[in-house]
Chains A and B, each alone.
Chain A
Amino acid sequence: MHVYIYDSYINQKKYDKAIAMIETRLTDLGLNGKIARLGLMKNIPDLVQNELKRGAKTITAVGNDQTVCQVINALAGNAAPLGIIPVGKNNNFIATSLGITSSQEACDILSARRIMKLDLGRANQNFFLANANITTLGTIVEIDQDYSIETAESGIVNIVNFTTGEEKLPISSTQNKFNPTDGILEFFIVTGQDRKFLKKITGKSIFSFKSLTIINKDYPVILDQVLKISTPVEISVAKQILNVIVGKERSF
């Protein structure tokens, strides 16, 4: 059975046409299933657990990155794959990176059922799919309990599983570093504000690690541009823990 989790924001009138088109397309493709609508009294983890107990074959997040972020935390470690149908123009970077660029295309991708087992980043009790980041100001990062890193310049600390293009990293994705199936998370610090002879110089640092701890008294760690968790945060990789239905035009 296919289960579609509708985020609460798509109840707005402006999305009626898009939702109708999605539902028609899913019917045409024979992918009808149960629709679960999020609201004040319902939370995603309980909803997903209940549907999995009832034998859900696929759990599809219908919404944006925020919806996806919540679903992966409930679905990690389960055999049922995650599908994504992006709705709206904003905050769909994860879907785009997975090769799902529109709602229409998303339905066809669900039908094709190209499943990949992806790594997730583990941040304390939460998971993130694409990246975790925090400002460099006041941040201390302890790596593998062997050494610590800090910087005085303003910038961003990024832990990347795969790139969505929003991180603005000064490293080309063609360098084959951002693969969410390789069991490795990449750690970058990008600082940047030297101006020398009118040319902006970006500082970058790259480290590899097994686990790291981020400490910052004032600022939280942000997972997938959506979820904020306060430090200390211990980050490690959870290898190939989530099945995801992906498109051909994905970024890895």
Chain B
Amino acid sequence: MFKKQEERTENFTKAETIIGHSVKVKGDFNSQGDIIVEGMVTGNLKTKGSLQVGEKAQIKADIEAREAKIGGEIKGNVKVKDFLELTTTAKVYGDIEAASLSIERGAILNGKCTMTKEDKEADLKTEHARKEEQGHSS
């Protein structure tokens, strides 16, 4: 119990933006740093840092982040460059895209799931194979 509170305090300390539990944000929200959402967001949410969505958060927006930990409700698409984690209380109604993914038991995901890192590796392998073939044929 105490560890969770300490971790929460530490995250609050580091985050550039915190949207508290009774706050509604409407519009296009762009940030460079880490964001913690515990309230409501409608529109678009983009950050170059990490995103943490609390249990009681409600987001009706398309999301882009470097990495994300989702514990609340999202109605929209989620695009994450690195690691995406859906915790047990997460409810995502939309497509997700990430390089690395973790989904806890109890999380809800209704949408397409695309793994971007494997796609890139597959593309590189295909390109490499094609070049080898061209080399052999010539």
Q: Which residues of A contact B (CB under 8 A)?
A: 146-153, 155, 175, 189, 191, 203-208
Contact of A203 among B15, B20, B43 (CB under 8 A): B20
- The number of chain B residues with a CB under 8 A from chain A is 23
* B119 close to A (CB within 8 Å): no
Are A204 and B43 interface neighbours, CB within 8 A?
no
Asked if B15 and A146 make an inter-chain contact with CB atoms under 8 angstroms apart, the answer reads: no
Q: Quick one: which of B10-44 are within 8 Å of A by CB?
A: 12-13, 15-31, 33, 38-39, 43
How far does the Cβ of B125 sit from chain A's closest Cβ, in whole Å? 41
| Bound form: Cα–Cα A42–B18 in Å | 46
Enumerate 5 A-B pairs (CB-CB under 8 Å) in ascending A order. A149-B25, A151-B20, A191-B22, A205-B20, A205-B23
- The residues of B that contact A189 with a CB separation of less than 8 Å are 20, 23
Partner of B22, one of A146, A148, A153: A153
From the candidates B13, B15, B22, B25, name the one contacting A147 in the complex (CB within 8 A).
B25
A170, closest chain B residue (CB): B12
State in angstroms the CA–CA spacing of A153 and B21 once bound together: 10
Which secondary structure characterizes the binding site on chain B?
strand
Closest-by-CB residue of A relative to B44 is: A147
A203-B21, A205-B20 as given contacts; A175 in contact with B26, CB under 8 Å: no
Asked whether, in the complex, the Cβ of B24 is within 8 Å of the Cβ of A208, the reply is no
A149-B23, A207-B17 given; 16 more Cβ-contact pairs under 8 Å: A146-B27, A146-B28, A148-B26, A148-B27, A150-B23, A150-B24, A151-B22, A151-B39, A175-B13, A191-B20, A204-B20, A205-B20, A205-B39, A206-B16, A206-B18, A208-B17
Report which of B13, B22, B25 forms a contact with A152, defined as CB distance below 8 A. B22
A148 to B41, CA, bound (A): 10
Give every chain A residue within 8 A of B29 (Cβ-Cβ).
Answer: 146-147
With contact pairs A189-B20, A191-B20 given, residues A206 and B26 touching in the complex (Cβ less than 8 Å): no
Chain A residues within 8 Å of B20, by CB: 151, 189, 191, 203-205
A148, B16: Cα distance in complex, Å: 17
CA distance A155 to B43 in the complex (A): 25
B17–A206 touching, CB < 8 Å: yes
Once the chains are docked, how many angstroms separate the CA of A206 from the CA of B12?
10
Q: In the complex, A203 Cα to B21 Cα: how many Å?
A: 6
Q: Which 10 A-B pairs have the closest CB atoms?
A: A147-B27, A205-B20, A153-B22, A203-B20, A206-B18, A151-B23, A205-B23, A151-B22, A203-B21, A146-B28
A179 to B2 Cα, complex, angstroms: 31
| Residues of chain A with a CB closer than 8 A to B30's CB | 146
What residues of B have a CB within 8 angstroms of the CB of A152 in the complex?
Answer: 22, 24
Chain B residues positioned under 8 Å from A146 (CB to CB):
27-30
CB distance from B9 to the nearest CB of A (A): 10
CA distance A34 to B19 in the complex (A): 51
With a CB–CB cut-off of 8 A, which chain A residues contact B25? 147-149
Residues from chain B with a CB closer than 8 A to the CB of A207 are 17
CB neighbours (8 Å) of B39 from chain A are 151, 205
A203 to B13, CA, bound (A): 14
Give chain B residues whose Cβ lies under 8 Å from the Cβ of A153.
22
* A125 shortest CB reach to chain B, Å: 27
Contact partner, B24, options A149, A175, A203, A204, Cβ 8 Å: A149
Cβ contact within 8 Å between B43 and A147: yes
By a CB distance below 8 angstroms, the chain A residues around B38 are 203
In the complex, what distance in Å separates the CA atom of A205 from the CA atom of B54?
13
Which residues of B are found within 8 Å of A206, using beta-carbon distances?
A: 15-18
